[in-house]
Amino acid sequence: MKYIIIIIYGIWFYQRKNKARMERRKIKLAFSIWLRQMEVLLAYNTVSVAIDKSIEEAPTNLKPYLSQLNQQIKTNPQLEDSYTNFLKELEDIKIERTMHHLYRYALLGTADVENQLTRIIEENAEELRKHRKAIFESQLSFYSVYGLIPMILMSLIVLGILFIVLTYLMKGGWQA
């Protein structure tokens, strides 16, 4: 009984952990996609206006976080924490760095900061590629499990044939 409880707990724990990991991955991907859109908006808008405009077309799972950020910026545009606290629970250094640069760009708006932000946005394109490749790789992992099926099937059939031969040779099996 205790083994069954351990196994059930193990499965539950693994599924929970896996779900949380998938959720984190989805939000990171959504952030990269949002930043890709921000690149267009930032060209002709201030940071606060660009964030405000981006909410409508942002990935669904990011909208609540963006609305909260937008609200905080509207309340206190000078407060750095509004930017740096964005998606803080993910503890992602890239997100933190990007938000910090966005804050600097919003506050200073100099050419130097703009260049830094452009570099980050360009890096983000690579990040999006990495996300895409990770999704592709996870899809390919299907074959590593699925590839075992013919081999398992083969083993079972060989065993089955041997069993048939054995029972036949024993004239009906060991009960006789």
Partner 1 sequence: MILVVVFVLVLLFEIKAIKKDIKGFKDSWFLIIPLLFSIVVLGRMFKLKPLYLLYLSIMGFISSLLLIYFNLQYMAKRDNFYRLTDYLLRLSNYYRIYQKAQTAYEKAGLDYDLSPYHQHYLVKSLLEIMQVGETVSHDKTEYQLKRIEYDIEKWIQDTRQYQLQEKQHFQRLMMLIGFSLAIIYLTQKMLHHILEIHRLSSYQNLIFIFLSSILIIILISSKRLTKNWILKEEYL
In the set 110, 165, 170, 173, which binds partner 1 (CB under 8 A)?
165
Is 174 among the residues that bind partner 1 (CB under 8 A)? Answer: no
In the set 27, 58, 73, 106, which binds partner 1 (CB under 8 A)?
58
The DSSP secondary structure of the chain, one letter per residue, reads -HHHHHHHHHHHHHHHHHHHHHHHHHHHHHHHHHHHHHHHHHTTS-HHHHHHHHHHHS-GGGHHHHHHHHHHHHH-TT-HHHHHTTTGGG--HHHHHHHHHHHHHHHT--HHHHHHHHHHHHHHHHHHHHHHHHHHHHHHHHHHHHTHHHHHHHHHHHHHHHHHHHHHHTTS-TT-
Nearer to partner 1, 8 or 154 (CB): 154
Nearer to partner 1, 20 or 164 (CB): 164
Is 170 among the residues that bind partner 1 (CB under 8 A)? Answer: no
Angle between helices 2-42 and 47-57 (to 10 degrees): 130
Distances (CA, A) of 66 to 35, 39, 148: 12, 16, 45
Is 120 among the residues that bind partner 1 (CB under 8 A)? Answer: no
Is 49 among the residues that bind partner 1 (CB under 8 A)? Answer: no
Is 9 among the residues that bind partner 1 (CB under 8 A)? Answer: no
In the set 119, 122, 170, 173, which binds partner 1 (CB under 8 A)?
122
Is 128 among the residues that bind partner 1 (CB under 8 A)? Answer: yes
Nearer to partner 1, 151 or 176 (CB): 151
In the set 149, 171, 172, 174, which binds partner 1 (CB under 8 A)?
149
Q: Contact residues for partner 1 (CB under 8 A)?
A: 26, 29, 33, 36-37, 39-41, 43-44, 57-60, 122, 125, 128-129, 131-133, 135-136, 139-140, 142-143, 146-147, 149-151, 153-154, 157-158, 160-162, 164-165, 168-169
